[in-house]
Amino acid sequence: MEGITVKLQIMLGLLIFLATFADVHAEMPSDSPRFQKARQAMVDEQIRTRGISDPKVLHAMEHVPRHFFVPPKMHSQAYADHPLPIGEGQTISQPYIVALMTESLMIKGFENVLEIGTGSGYQAAVLSELAHSVTTIEIKKKLFGKTSKLLTHLNYSNITTVFGDGYYGWKAKSPYDCIMVTAAVNHIPHPLRQQLKDGGRLILPLGNPFSYQNLVLVTKQGSKFFVQQITGVLFVPLTGHALEIQGE
């Protein structure tokens, strides 16, 4: 009887696994010709015409199915020229801003990249198409769970998802060649400056978290940091410790 019980337990476990796997697949939309056409139009009309020219960035934007990363009710707007809500008070950025931030980091292919604010996972997916490895941190537990599951299902094997406060970065995989912060903060967090490799680049929306900010590119040279302003933007605030302090 014990042998039969063990077999039944194994079979039950297998059935549960298969049911869960089937549920994951059932939730996933298909990448139909309609979506592929919309994605190509997004690149041609919103991104290339605004000056994004890095072939690797353009290819990533053409390849990553953005509609996989938005709620089902938003699929028809997935490739529109504006951000979209994804729940938990967060948004998926406008496609052009995703491309602009990605191109600004000048990724060649060997880089170890840190992203602060996983959100939908779309920006991490785009970065993973260019970089050697991507670590992405999300502070909101529901988003972290949902997005981690999605990125795993989509086989983004070079992405590591972390649940935590991105203000502190992720020292375990530092130093980083590039860091991207996808939420607004009024100063450059000290832990991120420490975890950036010499010669590395950090991009973030810098300024009032509850108003418009400047998208800036920060380059580290020894103990100095050089800041280049790119354009005005509007991002949701970086939550956690960033909202508890006014500066350093």
Bond preceding residue 71 cis, omega within 30 of 0: no
Active-site pick, 30, 32, 53, 93: 93
The three-class DSSP label of residue 47 is helix
DSSP β-bridge partners for residue 180: 115, 203
Residues 128, 159 contacting (CB under 8 angstroms): yes
CA distance 42 to 18: 36
Query: Which among 233, 238, 232 is positioned nearest to 188, based on CA atoms?
Result: 238
Query: Which among 27, 102, 100, 17 is positioned nearest to 67, based on CA atoms?
Result: 27
DSSP β-bridge partners for residue 176: 196
DSSP β-bridge partners for residue 235: none
Residues 211, 231 contacting (CB under 8 angstroms): no
Instruction: Give the other-Cβ count within 10 Å of 87's Cβ.
Output: 13
End-to-end Cα spacing for the chain:
67
DSSP β-bridge partners for residue 213: 207, 233
Q: Is residue 93 flagged as an active site residue?
A: yes
Indicate left, alpha or beta for 193 from its phi (over 0: left) and psi (-120 to 50: alpha).
alpha
Q: What is the DSSP letter of 89?
A: T
**Catalytic (active-site) positions:** 93
